[in-house]
Amino acid sequence: MVNKKRTVRLFLDWDGTLTKKDTLHLVTAIGYDCNRDAKLTPWDDIVQAYISDYKQHTESYSPAAEERDAEDGAARRESNWLASLKPVETRSIERVQTADIFRGVIKQDVESAARLAVQKHKLQLRPGWRKLLMHHQNSATAPSVSIISVNWSATFIQACVEAAFQFSASGMESMMVAPIPVYANELPLVEGGSDSCISTSTDKLKKLRQVREDDDVIVYVGDSATDFDCLNAADVGICVRDDPMGSSQQELKETLDRLGFETLRLNFDAYKKFGQYVLGRADDGNNRKRIIWWVEDLDEISKFIEEIHGHV
């Protein structure tokens, strides 16, 4: 184990990790609602254009997925593939900008839509979200919590979290909850996809490296291939899996299996068993595979955070 006291920092994905489902449709609906009198390009057309672009890129990319297997350097090759998707994501953003979907949308529109989505249960957070996010509070010994997302609106995410606390059974405490840092994009989207845009797994890893401290113990939680680089780079990488798994969760599982990662159910006994290896040291003398942990609910993560806090 590590002798020097280290700070546990928890980084969470948003869509499909903190939330039960993807929320992009709720964000795009803001633009369509604010421009309901305009003849906007149907959202399905933009989605289909993205799918076609993604498919074409996948078919032309080398090495193909089946060739990015468990050999040495497999994780690096997978990271290169994920980074190669940047132009695909950029072209999608350009289509949205050209369609003028978010014309005239202001911050208050986004905040109001977020609050309504939570209030009307159009957006649902996973059970255990509240306890997990409360780790961010002001105790000097508490681990900090941040959200890193490819979502198009950090304002939307922040407003959803604030509304969830307000509308929860313990909503009276919402005034005491410190704002949780959200690293995501913002409306209006930047045409051409600026370097600061977070749209790929590579971008998320870049942001994580920017905001972490050198001696932090990084716990990262995600659910899809967009989280791969952060899961692999974290001291403790955790993926959320439903029963049955959703398509994004299944894709991540297949990726980890193909690359030869070992996936274990998260628990403190396993953490103690693997010792320093769990803190990201891949060479512990036993040539173990890189471990990614998995959970079915967020309460498992809260319990784990509490248990490891005194041992790092």
Tokens for 54, please give them. Answer: 């993604």
Q: Are 273 and 254 in contact (CB under 8 A)?
A: no
Q: How far apart are CA 190 and CA 273, in angstroms?
A: 47
Q: Considering Cα of 116, then 119, then 121, then 127, what sign does the dihedral take?
A: positive
Please give the angle made by the CA atoms of 304, 308 and 312, to the nearest 5 degrees. Answer: 150
195-206: string of b/e by CB count within 10 Å (b at 16+)? eebbbbbbbbbe
Q: Are 147 and 41 in contact (CB under 8 A)?
A: no
3-state helix, strand, coil split of the chain in percent (to 5) is: 50, 10, 40
Q: Are 187 and 102 in contact (CB under 8 A)?
A: yes
Mean pLDDT computed over 29-36: 96
Q: Phi/psi of residue 9, each to 5°?
A: -120, 125
List pLDDT tens digits, range 133-172: 988 765 555 668 999 999 999 999 999 999 999 888 654 5
Q: In this structure, what DSSP letter does residue 269 have? A: H
Answer yes or no: is pLDDT of 270 > 90: no
Q: What is the pLDDT of residue 7?
A: 81
Q: What is the pLDDT of residue 283?
A: 38
Mean pLDDT computed over 67-81: 89
Pick from 72, 90, 308, 51: which is nearest to 196 by CA?
Answer: 90
Q: How far apart are CA 282 and CA 268, in angstroms?
A: 19
Pick from 190, 210, 218: which is nearest to 280 by CA?
Answer: 218
Answer yes or no: is pLDDT of 212 > 90: no
Q: How far apart are CA 63 and CA 16, in angstroms?
A: 28
Residue with tokens 């967020």: 298
From the number of C-beta atoms within 10 Å of its C-beta (0-12, 13-18, 19+), residue 118 rates as buried
pTM for this prediction: 0.91
pLDDT band at 119 (very low <50, low <70, confident <90, very high): very high
pLDDT band at 226 (very low <50, low <70, confident <90, very high): very high
Q: What is the pLDDT of residue 277?
A: 42
The mean pLDDT value of the chain amounts to: 87
Name the E strands within the chain: 8-12, 144-148, 182-183, 217-222, 236-240, 262-265, 291-295
Domain boundaries, the chain: 8-311
Q: What is the pLDDT of residue 290?
A: 82
242 in helix, strand or coil? coil
Q: How far apart are CA 278 and CA 166, in angstroms?
A: 36
Tokens for 59, please give them. Answer: 């078919």
